[in-house]
Amino acid sequence: MTDPLLLAIAERFGTPTYVYDLDEVDARLASLRRALPGAALRYAVKANPSGALLRHLAGGDVGAEVITRGELERALRAGMIPATQVLGGPRQDPPLVARAAELGVGLVSLDGERQWDHWLAYLELTPTRFLVRINPGLDPHTHEHLATGAASSKFGLAPPAAEALARRVAATGRLAGFHLHVGSMIRDVSVYDAQVELLEGIYRRFPACDTLDMGGGFAVPDFPLEGFARRILPLAARHRLALVVEPGRYLTATAGTLLSRVLHVKPGDPAHVIADAGMADLLRPALYAAEHPIRRVTPQADRDPAPAWRGDVDGPLCENADRLGSDRTLDGVRPGDLLAVGQAGAYGFAMASNYASSLRPAEVVVQAGVARAARRRERPEDLWRLEDEC
């Protein structure tokens, strides 16, 4: 997205505002399909649940990976039919199971024995088939909060327990296969070598299975999809498995920009730029020490920039953790300038909150250079609207 377009969006919709480039989403989608031909793509809704984005993906023949009732209903509302949805995650309590069974969700990834016990009462009511999630107990070389396949992680079952559950499911004729998702922001494709070795043995012991779900977790901005494909596609071919992947961040992160205005510039060591967006809008820097590119959006008529500035880009709240970026160099930043925080299309608005009674940002989508509103900015009355209904 060009600077003039971002400036026009900020002028029209205010700040903070999330902007999503749907053409970039399509480009990432195309790269997945080139590398993994024939794979079923199930978008991880938790990355970005924007209705406009979900509708766009549904129109591109993408299904959904959901973990809550809210995500299930959002995907349905966007046109993602139940047969193209995968329900996973640690929750799967009776109310969620009942709703998913009523709809006939295509695949369910079982995270533990008790989830299967909940599902047993609904098997005659639904065509749903099941995967068993394996926790391989390995180091996926990522942030500890993102290492879902580590031995200490709450996700899935160790291989012996996963196989025991799989035998129970297979006895009902509903076992589709296995699910293995070892973490997020995976950069080193060599971590898949041990996974392939593990899965080879498991699928030999369960030759009737026809599906493999490898989750997602591909790092942005660049993930070696070809290296992933060289490891996974031969495994799927040898065992005649339909491959499922669950891209979330990979599809939306680089498509998203958070626009924010500079409120104040405070000299010092470090210096501080105070922006109108912070941890209530983009939590990832505070939660994961995530680093997002930040740049000043330059008006075409700006001929006299201020001196280059180095320090922290901070948010407006009373928290030391309220920061968009540390130790950054920004060219000519002054109060009123527009900042663009990049790679913000995943786990940005999805994690935004009303902390300190902050108002969540507007969302805008852009396609072919045309911007349109996807969600209005919250107003003060939205903060107590649900209280007034009590």
Q: Confirm if 253 and 43 have CB atoms less than 8 A apart.
A: no
pTM confidence score: 0.93
Work out the mean pLDDT of the chain and round it to a whole number: 92
Query: Pick the catalytic residue: 171, 301, 318, 368?
Result: 318
Across 118-126, average pLDDT: 94
Domain layout of the chain by residue ranges: 3-16+256-344+361-381, 22-252
Question: Is 390 among the residues known to form the active site?
Answer: no
Confidence label for 140 from pLDDT (cuts 50, 70 and 90): low
Would you state the pLDDT for residue 300?
A: 64
pLDDT the model gives residue 304: 59
Average pLDDT over residues 213-221: 92
State both tokens at 39: 């794979």
Q: Is the CATH number of domain 3-16+256-344+361-381 3.40.640.10?
A: no
pLDDT of residue 47: 97
**pLDDT score, position 268:** 86
* Predicted pLDDT of residue 146: 46
Q: Which of 97-106, 203-212, 219-228, 361-370 has the lowest mean pLDDT?
A: 219-228
Tokens encoding 296:
């000043």
More confident of the two residues 192 and 43: 43
pLDDT for the residue 147? 45
The residue-averaged pLDDT of 87-94 equals 94
pLDDT of residue 143: 45
The second-level CATH assignment, the architecture, of 22-252 is Alpha-Beta Barrel (3.20)
Q: What is the pLDDT of residues 265-313, one digit of tens each?
A: 998 888 999 999 999 999 999 998 999 999 999 886 665 566 778 899 9
Please tell me the predicted confidence (pLDDT) of residue 149: 47
Inter-residue contact 46 to 351 (CB < 8 Å): no
